[in-house]
């Protein structure tokens, strides 16, 4: 079964840090372009970062609201994709989804990040 499972969410204070993890199974992880997409409570979808497969150059891209604060990384040996979040702001509160592809064809269930004092 093709699956993505996120973990690592929680409550963090403004200015704090958090690392989200995503494990993939049922597909060739090393060939997949991996993305993070977030959804604030009751709001729409926002793409925030991508790590292309090594075969496609391993290019990393970010959306402007998170560039310089968030970092994506991957470990293909254990099918893991990460989002390292620093200098968190209240507006980063959201459900964070891990997704695959140039279009987002596989999605996890998401992990909730709440930034609050």
User: Which residues are at the interface with another protein (CB under 8 A)?
Assistant: 44-47, 50, 61, 63-64, 97, 102-105, 107-110
**Considering beta carbons, is residue 55 or 64 the nearer one to another protein?**
64
Please state the closest distance from residue 7 (CB atom) to another protein, in A.
Answer: 15
**Considering beta carbons, is residue 46 or 76 the nearer one to another protein?**
46
- Structure letter (DSSP) for residue 26: S
103-113: string of b/e by CB count within 10 Å (b at 16+)? Answer: eeebebebbeb
Please state the closest distance from residue 16 (CB atom) to another protein, in A.
Answer: 25
**Considering beta carbons, is residue 42 or 77 the nearer one to another protein?**
42
Please state the closest distance from residue 99 (CB atom) to another protein, in A.
Answer: 8
Yes or no: say if 113 and 19 are a contact pair by the CB < 8 Å rule.
no
Residue 26 contacts by C-beta under 8 Å, 6 or more apart in sequence? 1, 2, 3
């Amino acid at each position: 079964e093709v699956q993505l499972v996120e973990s690592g969410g929680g409550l963090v204070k403004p200015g704090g840090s958090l690392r989200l993890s995503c494990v993939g199974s049922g597909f060739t992880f090393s060939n997949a372009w991996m993305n993070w997409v977030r959804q604030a409570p009751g709001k729409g979808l926002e793409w925030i970062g991508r790590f292309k497969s090594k075969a496609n150059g391993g290019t990393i891209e970010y959306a402007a609201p998170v560039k310089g604060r968030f970092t994506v990384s991957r470990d293909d040996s254990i099918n893991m994709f990460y989002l390292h979040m620093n200098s968190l702001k209240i507006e980063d509160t959201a459900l964070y989804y891990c997704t695959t592809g140039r279009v987002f064809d596989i999605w996890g269930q998401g992990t909730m990040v709440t930034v609050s004092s």
